[in-house]
């Protein structure tokens, strides 16, 4: 009987709760229904969000309206004005309809446009029973700094995804029953309001993605019931508070992506219930204390992208609930093995694997050593990232024995040796295997054949020799990233295909890198959806026609094409219109002949064109001026001729590298070339150019500033989706040698006009290029003198103006070029003394021969010893100073006795002088 009573009681309470939050038929209050219908009438509702609000029906059955099951009062109104795709367009301009809903305790208008409802804060006073208010993504743009409200029951306030642009007003924290605040993405700025606040029930603050620009408030960390704090991407700066109150209830803490610059405070290790700790992307420094082992509830730690140092905290391995650990991009050092040796050593001893770790990121640190065999017992591990450390040693099958869930394995740039049997089948089916720099060879790794889910594979620089097995080319049809570059692979590359299942597996780039091997034969055909192809530095031969013009009616998605350093011959075909997405074309160092085809001008997205060291002839096609996004043109060592067209400057003004060295270009340098204000490397050497150097060279702004950053994505000069694979580069002759610049290309500036027939003076405006590092005007017919202010170009490292007809003296200011490590002024008509400086004395005498110069480092001495002359000048100066004081003393004596002597020896003068003084004295006092 007692059980029956209990069952009836449970059913009664369940029914009561159900009725409270379900629509009740026939009990809606008439005045509240009219208020809601007024709202519908006045609202702008283009997508019929309120279509279910029909006068003939009970308002408690309307969508988003919830009534009390007994009184019929509307207690909850939830009007969702947006979904995951886009806002629904519902707009409400006022709240005059709201006071009739006097029993409302929950109002949710997320996504509704309230930009014209400037009195939105009055909603809080209109509804004395309001507990929950959600105005997320409502286009609110103002919040009053002062607001004296009467509400004492409000618990949850959500103002996220608005655009206030002001500090958080103090009144927001003044609700005595407040439990939760949400400000995510609301563009609050400035400092937090000063505390403390009486928030005894407060548990949650979500305030990420704002622009506070202030330090963390101490009072916030003193709230004893705080459980959830998210201030990521919020612009907070300075130190994390060093001392706080009771943090034992804190379960979630994210201060990621801010400007915090302290060490990790000790109080943090006492938050024993903490489950998620995210300090990513700050400037935190110091070590991680072993006390972190106290945080036994942790499931996620992210301290990446900081300046943390010291040894890896091996005790982290004892946090057996830990699922995600990210310590990447710091300065941790020491043996990598230490952290793994504790991960499986949990009580009871012998119970087997107990680590919950699913994600491990240790990449981009200074870790050393080999992985221990205990690494292979992390059976839950799915994501493992250890690239860019100093890891080395031999790995065997035992290191992977229980990694049955491993899907992503990144250990790029490691010196591991993988030593497994030829019939080894890994226990995992990975999608990403990145082993660049490992020693996997010399035989091709047969275990890859078992990886039927592979999508991204990098086995570059792995010491693999020989032909690629046929089965691999079949497997490669499903691989989106294939990198086998820098091995000794040989044979022909068959037509590359993509499986039907891979085509339908979603978007993403298709990247194929087979460079620096011994592949031969004709170029392989590729699918139209491949986005990057690098077959450079192989032995591919024959022509380009079959490769480029195979599918004339299809448009390729290829963005990077690198075929340089092969044996390709014949003419470049004229079918580039089929490749509209190309950003990089490199056909350099082949045996190509003929002219540059006109259709190259169809590549409107082209940024880098490299055709150097071929046998191309003819003039530059005028269609090239359509490629207005070009950053680099390198046509070195060909047989191109004709004038340099003015559109090189007027149309291709974004050029950073223009290298036309060793061709047959002639004519004068057009003044329009001076419009290349982004140019950093200008190399026109070894041509037949004549006439003067344009005086407008000071318009080369990048050579004034000394740095032009090339941005394409996150990494400058890096075109590739797979960062670091294809980086822009340029060959520059400087200091008498050829150098290749890539990673520091944006730092280098050079102008080389040598070995032409240029005449006239060196423009004085040249000295405005104070960011220029290398200058070569040698082997021309330049006359006049070296610009006097050449010493202003303080970062010059190399200067060669030899083999001209320059005259006059070497300017004294050249002694100010402290960065100068190469100088050649030989074989001119220069005369006089070489300026005295330690820098110039260190150069070879051959740098000054063929002139009428004297002084070190030449053996020829000048007619006078400049040091003696300087001493004489100092003596002369000294004697001049001494005679100045002597003459001043004589003058004082003559003047003193010239006045005093008559007064002393001539009595009438003396009486007249004293009578004069007596009259003046009396006149002053009257």
Q: What is the pLDDT of residues 435-462, one digit of tens each?
A: 999 999 999 999 999 999 999 999 999 9
pLDDT recorded at residue 387: 95
Going by C-alpha positions, the residue among 852, 770, 768 that lies closest to residue 807 is 852
Q: State how beta strands 737-741 and 730-734 pair.
A: antiparallel
Statement: residue 173 has pLDDT above 90: yes
Task: Return the DSSP state at 26.
Answer: T
Going by C-alpha positions, the residue among 512, 474, 473 that lies closest to residue 492 is 473
Q: Which residue has tokens 């040091």?
A: 867
In angstroms, the Cα distances linking 419 to 183, 371, 394, 432, 891 are 54, 14, 7, 20, 100
Overall average pLDDT of the 74-81 stretch: 91
Statement: residue 143 has pLDDT above 70: yes
Confidence of residue 346 (pLDDT cuts 50, 70, 90): low
Q: Which residue has tokens 């620009």?
A: 213
**Spatial distance between the Cα atoms of 162 and 148, rounded to a whole number of angstroms:** 22
pLDDT recorded at residue 743: 61
Confidence of residue 4 (pLDDT cuts 50, 70, 90): very low
User: Higher pLDDT residue, 184 or 342?
Assistant: 184
pLDDT recorded at residue 343: 72
The rounded percent of the chain whose pLDDT value lies above 70 is: 86
Statement: residue 687 has pLDDT above 50: yes
pLDDT recorded at residue 109: 94
pLDDT recorded at residue 889: 53
pLDDT recorded at residue 822: 94
pLDDT recorded at residue 886: 46
pLDDT recorded at residue 500: 60
Whether 511 and 487 have beta carbons less than 8 Å apart is answered as no
Confidence of residue 21 (pLDDT cuts 50, 70, 90): very low
Statement: residue 9 has pLDDT above 60: no
Statement: residue 222 has pLDDT above 80: yes
101-110, 496-505, 553-562 — which is least confidently predicted?
A: 496-505
Whether 284 and 305 have beta carbons less than 8 Å apart is answered as no
Strand partners, 603: none
pLDDT recorded at residue 894: 47
Confidence of residue 148 (pLDDT cuts 50, 70, 90): confident
Please tell me the number of Cα atoms within 13 Å of 442 on its side-chain side.
4
pLDDT recorded at residue 780: 97
Confidence of residue 1 (pLDDT cuts 50, 70, 90): very low
Statement: residue 276 has pLDDT above 50: yes
pLDDT recorded at residue 915: 56
pLDDT recorded at residue 339: 86
| Burial letters 168-197, b for 16+ CB under 10 A, else e | bbebbbbbeebbbbbbbbbebbeebbeeeb
Strand partners, 800: 776, 824
Overall average pLDDT of the 61-85 stretch: 88
Q: What is the DSSP string of 521-550?
A: ESPPP--TT--EEE--SSEE-S-SHHHHSS
pLDDT recorded at residue 902: 53
pLDDT recorded at residue 87: 77
Overall average pLDDT of the 193-207 stretch: 92
pLDDT in tens, 884-912: 444 555 555 545 555 555 555 555 555 55
Whether 21 and 14 have beta carbons less than 8 Å apart is answered as no
User: Higher pLDDT residue, 800 or 920?
Assistant: 800
pLDDT in tens, 25-72: 448 899 999 999 999 999 999 989 999 999 989 999 999 999 998 889
Overall average pLDDT of the 476-505 stretch: 84
**Spatial distance between the Cα atoms of 600 and 99, rounded to a whole number of angstroms:** 70
Three-class SS state of 875: helix
pTM over 0.75: yes
Statement: residue 737 has pLDDT above 90: no
pLDDT recorded at residue 243: 87
Statement: residue 7 has pLDDT above 50: no
Statement: residue 693 has pLDDT above 50: yes
Confidence of residue 577 (pLDDT cuts 50, 70, 90): very high
């Amino acid at each position: 009987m007692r059980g029956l009573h209990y069952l009836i009681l449970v059913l009664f309470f369940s029914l009561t709760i159900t009725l409270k939050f379900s629509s009740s038929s026939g009990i809606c209050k008439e005045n509240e229904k009219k208020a809601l219908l007024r709202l519908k009438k006045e609202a702008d509702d283009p997508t019929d969000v309120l279509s279910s609000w029909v006068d003939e029906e009970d308002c408690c059955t309307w969508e988003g309206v919830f009534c009390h099951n007994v009184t019929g009062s509307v207690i909850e109104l939830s009007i969702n004005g947006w979904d995951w795709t886009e806002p629904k367009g519902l707009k409400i301009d006022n709240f005059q309809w709201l006071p009739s809903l006097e029993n409302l305790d929950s109002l949710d208008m997320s996504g509704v446009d309230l930009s014209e409802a400037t009195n939105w804060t009055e909603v809080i006073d209109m509804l004395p029973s309001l507990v929950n208010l959600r105005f997320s993504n409502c286009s609110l743009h103002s919040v009053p700094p002062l607001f004296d409200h009467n509400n004492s029951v409000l618990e949850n306030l959500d103002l996220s995804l608005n655009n206030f642009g002001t500090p958080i007003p103090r009144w927001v924290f003044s609700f005595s029953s407040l439990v939760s605040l949400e400000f995510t993405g609301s563009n609050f700025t400035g400092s937090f309001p000063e505390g403390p606040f009486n928030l005894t029930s407060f548990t949650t603050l979500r305030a990420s993605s704002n622009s506070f620009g202030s330090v963390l408030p101490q009072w916030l960390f003193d709230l004893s019931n705080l459980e959830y704090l998210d201030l990521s991407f919020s612009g907070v700066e300075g130190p994390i508070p060093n001392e706080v109150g009771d943090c034992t209830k804190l379960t979630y803490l994210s201060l990621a992506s801010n400007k915090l610059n302290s060490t990790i405070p000790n109080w943090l290790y006492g938050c024993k219930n903490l489950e998620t700790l995210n300090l990513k992307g700050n400037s935190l420094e110091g070590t991680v204390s072993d006390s972190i082992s106290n945080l036994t509830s942790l499931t996620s730690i992210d301290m990446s992208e900081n300046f943390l140092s010291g040894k890896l905290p091996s005790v982290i391995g004892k946090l057996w609930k830990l699922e995600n650990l990210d310590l990447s991009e710091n300065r941790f050092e020491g043996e990598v093995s230490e952290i793994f040796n504790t991960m499986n050593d949990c009580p009871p001893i012998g119970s087997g694997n107990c680590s919950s770790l699913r994600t491990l990121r240790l990449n981009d640190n200074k870790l050393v050593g080999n992985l221990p065999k205990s690494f292979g017992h992390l059976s839950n591990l799915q994501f493992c990232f250890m690239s860019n450390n100093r890891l080395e040693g031999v790995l065997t099958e035992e290191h992977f024995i229980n990694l049955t869930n491993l899907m992503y394995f990144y250990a790029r740039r490691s010196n591991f040796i993988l030593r497994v049997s030829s019939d080894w089948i890994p226990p995992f089916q990975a999608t990403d295997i990145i082993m660049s720099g490992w020693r996997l060879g010399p035989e091709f790794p047969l275990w890859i054949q078992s990886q039927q889910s592979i999508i991204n594979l990098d086995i570059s620089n792995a010491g693999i020799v020989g032909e690629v097995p046929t089965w691999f080319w079949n497997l490669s049809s499903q691989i989106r990233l294939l990198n086998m570059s820098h091995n000794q692979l040989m044979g022909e590359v068959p037509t590359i295909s993509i499986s039907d299942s891979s085509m339908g597996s979603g978007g993403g780039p298709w990247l194929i890198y087979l460079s620096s091997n011994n592949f031969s034969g004709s170029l392989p055909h590729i699918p139209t959806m491949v986005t990057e192809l690098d077959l450079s530095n192989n032995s591919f031969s024959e022509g380009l026609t079959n490769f480029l013009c195979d599918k004339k009616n299809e448009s390729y998605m290829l963005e990077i094409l690198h075929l340089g350093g092969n044996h390709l011959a014949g003419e470049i075909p004229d079918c580039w219109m089929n490749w509209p997405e190309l950003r990089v074309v490199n056909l350099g160092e082949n045996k190509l002949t003929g002219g540059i085809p006109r259709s190259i001008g169809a590549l409107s997205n082209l940024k880098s064109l490299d055709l150097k060291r071929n046998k191309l002839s003819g003039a530059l096609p005028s269609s090239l001026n359509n490629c207005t996004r070009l950053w680099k043109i390198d046509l070195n060592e060909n047989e191109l001729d004709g004038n340099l067209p003015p559109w090189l400057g007027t149309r291709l003004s974004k050029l950073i590298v223009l290298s036309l060295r060793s061709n047959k270009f002639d004519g004068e340098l057009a003044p329009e070339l001076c419009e290349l204000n982004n140019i950093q490397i200008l190399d026109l050497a070894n041509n037949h150019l004549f006439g003067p150097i344009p005086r407008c060279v000071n318009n080369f702004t990048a050579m004034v500033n000394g740095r032009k950053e090339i941005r394409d994505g996150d990494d400058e000069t890096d075109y590739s989706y797979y960062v670091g694979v294809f980086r822009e580069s340029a060959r520059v002759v400087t200091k008498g040698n050829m150098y290749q610049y890539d990673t520091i290309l944006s730092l280098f500036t050079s102008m080389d006009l040598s070995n032409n027939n240029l005449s006239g003076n060196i423009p004085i405006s040249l000295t405005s290029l104070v960011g220029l590092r290398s200058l070569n005007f040698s082997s021309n017919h330049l006359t006049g003198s070296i610009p006097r202010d050449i010493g202003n170009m303080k970062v010059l490292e190399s200067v060669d103006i030899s083999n001209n007809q320059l005259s006059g003296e070497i300017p004294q200011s050249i002694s100010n070029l402290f960065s100068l490590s190469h100088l050649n002024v030989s074989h001119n008509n220069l005369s006089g003394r070489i300026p005295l400086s330690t820098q110039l004395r260190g150069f070879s005498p051959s740098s000054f021969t063929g002139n009428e110069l004297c002084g070190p480092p030449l053996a020829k001495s000048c007619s006078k010893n400049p040091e003696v002359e300087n001493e004489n000048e100092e003596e002369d100066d000294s004697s001049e100073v001494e005679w100045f004081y002597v003459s001043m003393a004589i003058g004082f004596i003559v003047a003193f006795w010239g006045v005093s002597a008559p007064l002393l020896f001539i009595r009438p003068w003396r009486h007249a002088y004293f009578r004069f003084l007596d009259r003046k004295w009396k006149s002053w006092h009257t």
